[in-house]
Every structure is written in structure tokens, then in C-alpha cells.
Amino acid sequence: MAMELSDSDLIAAALKGDHGSYETLIRKYQPRIFATARRYARRPDEVEDIVQEIFTKAWQKLASFRGEAPFEHWLMRLAVRTCYDFLRAHQRNREANMSDIGLDELDWLEKWDGGAFEAAEQSSAARELVHSVLEQLTPAARLVITLLEIEDRSVKEIAQLTGWSAPLVKVRAFRARAEMRKVLEKMSRTK
């Protein structure tokens, strides 16, 4: 039975130019990276482009990975920063999407009792609504709401992932919540 190589062995081989070892690393971590990218982009082609960019950057910067922290942490930092860059590059589309918010979906949210989604349509409506609301936020607000409230990460973790200081994360979280309340108020008024 072939023994499974550790991340450090695979990285060492990849650094010598072995694409096969890097392919193994991609196969291992791509589910988590796809899940992360799907939180910030909706269209499948955008998600794929983000994931490809993350793994390409990781390959280019692999020589700077010192192995002090697990490879997964290093890769997740890169993933979060790439997603943030993606949001900043696409922030002009925010206002244009305001009309995309489905009022039926808002009705559905008001009636939802907080239980598990029973049908695929419910899950799809929830996904659409969450994306539509989050798309109205500034990139920093969206990132901090996603990491802090949806993924339930600590301020310290977010600071490590984003490269922001802990007080900056707290300030941005405060502003993000206010921004989100404003968006929801605007939606309720439109309704």
C-alpha cells in the first residue's frame, strides 16, 4: 500500500518542479477553496477563475512558504485575500444589482421560522437572497460579515486571514453591521 505523503513532502517536491505533487495538493485542498470562493462570487465561471488564481498565486509564492504554520492556514490566507481583491475589482456592479433583489425572497425570509430548508427551492431562494444582500455591501463589509457572522470566526482569526489589525477588524465589523441594516431597511421600504 502506497504511503500518503505529507504536505511538507509534497511542497518540497513541488519546489523542485514536480507538477504531480502540486496536483495532489490541489486535489486535497480544492473543496475548501471552492467553498470559500462560492461565498464571494455567484457565477460558476467567476468561482472557477478565483480558485484558479488562488492556486496559481500559491504556486508562484510556494518558495516563500516557510512551514512555520500548516500549509492549509497559509493557503486560506491567500484565498481570503484573493477573494477580497475580487470583491474590490467588482464593486462597481453593486448599485446595478439593487433591483435584482427578489421581494418574494424577502417575504420568504420574513416567514421563515429558522428551521432546516425543506426543499431545494427554499435553499435556492435563501442563497439568492443572501448573495443579493451581501452584494450591496462594500468589499470590506462583505468580507467581515462573511467571516465573523456567517463562518463564525474570531476577531483574531480574521486579523490573521486578512492581514488587518484586531481593532481594525472590530471597527469594520461595526460599520459592516450598520451598512447591512441600512440595506435591509432600504429593501423593506421598497417592499
Partner 1 sequence: MDSEHLHRKLIAAARALPVDQEAPFCFEKRIIANLGTIPRPDFMGWLAQTLFKPAVFFVGVMMLTGVWTYVHPAPPTAENDVPEIENAIWAPLDSLGEAV
Interface ranges with partner 1 (CB under 8 A): 14-15, 17, 19, 22-23, 26-27, 30-32, 34-35, 38, 48, 51-52, 55-56, 59-60, 62-64, 109-110, 112, 114, 116-117, 123, 126-127, 129-130, 133, 145, 149-150, 152, 177, 180-182, 184-185, 187-188
Dist CA 9 CA 32 (whole Å): 21
C-beta closer to partner 1: residue 92 or 152: 152
Instruction: Provide the minimum distance between the beta carbon of 57 and partner 1 in the complex, in angstroms, as a whole number.
Output: 11
Q: Residue 66 corresponds to which cell in the numbers above?
A: 516557510
Compute φ and ψ for 137, nearest 5 degrees: -85, 160
The sign of the dihedral angle between the CA atoms of 174, 178, 179, 183 is positive
Q: Which is nearer to partner 1, 63 or 69 (CB)?
A: 63
Q: Say if CB 78 and CB 54 are below 8 A apart.
A: yes
Distance CA 165, CA 173 (A): 12
Q: Which is nearer to partner 1, 12 or 168 (CB)?
A: 12
Which lies closer to partner 1 via its Cβ, residue 171 or residue 184? 184
In the numeric block, the cell 435553499 is attached to 123
